[in-house]
Structure 1
């Protein structure tokens, strides 16, 4: 009985410590470019003109400052690489695993999570991924901004998953993200609309059919990655 009581006290103490670290976040403030614990997205020049759902992704610290991998050995801090944030998705820190030790994992993948690399706080996880990607070579297909965000989510074991990759990160922000404002919607879709209209006027319907076929092909490539073998497309 004494052993059980001691265990209960220790467990409650440990849980309280972890809960205490999850202090309230500030409000999301797009004007100040502050998105606490959010995934953030913005369209890419040229690429988004052909496929408006493809863009550049980052992840934000608890104070709302963004981090994004935008080039070899380069992780931007508080300077989103290709423009203002257009979409965001705030994540729930309670769905993360912050183990104080191996026996303190709240996820079901304790050993795998420990081997990959754990963190005590949200910001700690982002900082560790930052250090790792400061020594990575950028590749738009296999090691890009989505890969950096996926690395952060795997380090957090967000949602109890260690299978985050660049494609299911894209799907998450695509289907669950929120637009910052109406201007962001226009900024994301206007170039695509202009390209489609010009192509239709100059070339005709074959151009429009080809453009939409390319867009759906790229969309299929993004979504297919959700079901790929883990690590196939990861950095």
Structure 2
């Protein structure tokens, strides 16, 4: 903090990041502040590599994911550590960082009381609910399809190994099918 700011004065999120005051992404500790995170679901992602499991992180990077009926996990994703992440801007959440954290907590409380329905009310819906509660980007129409589509161009892989974990099973299946087709 520079000398002309009192401890009570809010620091803009961009300035905090530039000043190194915002928690950085830490792949080793699986800390992804202000991120939507994604990991493959065995078999489903092998066949459809754009489908997977999603969670949303608090400002400190703790992952919350709707992992099953009436259960939102904290810091332990249902299908393993994230392989992709999409970092969002906290200043686009209503009320900034406090609004972000409150929305993630509220969405998690809502989903702790819900049945998990894989094709309708799922982990993507949990993340969409958090974004709708915080009015992220002035939007209240986030949904699971929009999130799945946005993850394709906006997310980043955690590592080369994460990319391989996501795509290798699909590549093997495609190679097997092509080999079989060539034989037949």
TM tier, shorter chain?
A: 0.7 to 0.9
How far is the alpha carbon of 1:198 from its aligned partner?
1.6
- Residue pair 2:94, 2:100 contacting (<8 A) in 1 also: no
SS of 2:66's equivalent? strand
TM-score normalised according to structure 2 size: 0.86
- Residue pair 2:93, 2:99 contacting (<8 A) in 1 also: no
Structure 1 stretches lacking a partner, 5+ long: 1-15, 100-118, 208-235
SS of 2:22's equivalent? coil
User: Residues 60 and 120 of structure 1: is their aligned pair in 2 closer, same or farther, counting only changes over 3 Å?
Assistant: closer
Query: What whole-Å deviation, never above 9, does each CA across 1:87-134 have from its counterpart, x for those lacking one?
Result: 1111101111129xxxxxxxxxxxxxxxxxxx9531111111111100
User: Residues 120 and 28 of structure 1: is their aligned pair in 2 closer, same or farther, counting only changes over 3 Å?
Assistant: closer
Please show how residues 53-202 of structure 1 align to structure 2 within 5 Å. Answer: 53-98=50-95, 120-202=98-180
The structure carrying a bigger helix percent of its residues is 1
Larger Rg: 1
**Counterpart-to-counterpart distance in 1, 2:74 and 2:22:** 19
- Residue pair 1:28, 1:34 contacting (<8 A) in 2 also: yes
Please show how residues 23-38 of structure 1 align to structure 2 within 5 Å. Answer: 24-38=21-35
SS of 1:192's equivalent? helix
Query: What whole-Å deviation, never above 9, does each CA across 1:129-174 have from its counterpart, x for those lacking one?
Result: 1111000010011101000000000001001100000010111211
- Residue pair 1:21, 1:121 contacting (<8 A) in 2 also: no
- Residue pair 2:70, 2:112 contacting (<8 A) in 1 also: yes
How far is the alpha carbon of 1:183 from its aligned partner?
0.6
User: Residues 28 and 125 of structure 1: is their aligned pair in 2 closer, same or farther, counting only changes over 3 Å?
Assistant: same
Please show how residues 42-61 of structure 1 align to structure 2 within 5 Å. Answer: 42-61=39-58
How far is the alpha carbon of 1:200 from its aligned partner?
2.2
**Counterpart-to-counterpart distance in 2, 1:121 and 1:173:** 22
SS of 2:118's equivalent? coil
**Counterpart-to-counterpart distance in 2, 1:148 and 1:20:** 29
How far is the alpha carbon of 1:21 from its aligned partner?
8.2
Query: What whole-Å deviation, never above 9, does each CA across 1:24-70 have from its counterpart, x for those lacking one?
Result: 42110111100001010111110111111111110001111100001
TM-score normalised according to structure 1 size: 0.68
